[in-house]
Amino acid sequence: MNLNKAYRKGHEVKIHKTDGTTVVQCFKLEEGAVMLESDVRKYFPDSNAVNRVLRSLIQIIPEKFRTVVKAK
């Protein structure tokens, strides 16, 4: 399973403390979160960069092909 699929499925991290206790933290992508592949990520350092490019692409999509999804 590749890392993106594993992360989307969710995973646990076990932290073994020096006092002998173990803390388990569960991680899963939040609804609406997007993971970028490493080759794409090097061009987009943060969410603002990704959103800026996507908004510019939206402007060149013909109106009849645009689908607007309402926020929950």
| pLDDT one-digit tens code per residue, 10-29 | 888 999 999 999 999 988 88
Q: What is the pLDDT of residue 62?
A: 81
The reported pTM is 0.52
Token look-up 């013909």 returns 62
Query: CA–CA separation, 68 vs 57, rounded Å?
Result: 14
Which three-class secondary structure state does DSSP give residue 12? strand
pLDDT, one tens digit per residue, over 21-69 is: 999 998 888 888 888 888 998 999 899 999 999 999 988 888 777 676 6
The pLDDT score that the predictor gives to residue 32 is: 81
Longest dimension (CA), the chain: 62
Tokens 């999509």: give the residue: 61
- Burial bucket for residue 37 (CB in 10 Å: 0-12, 13-18, 19+): exposed
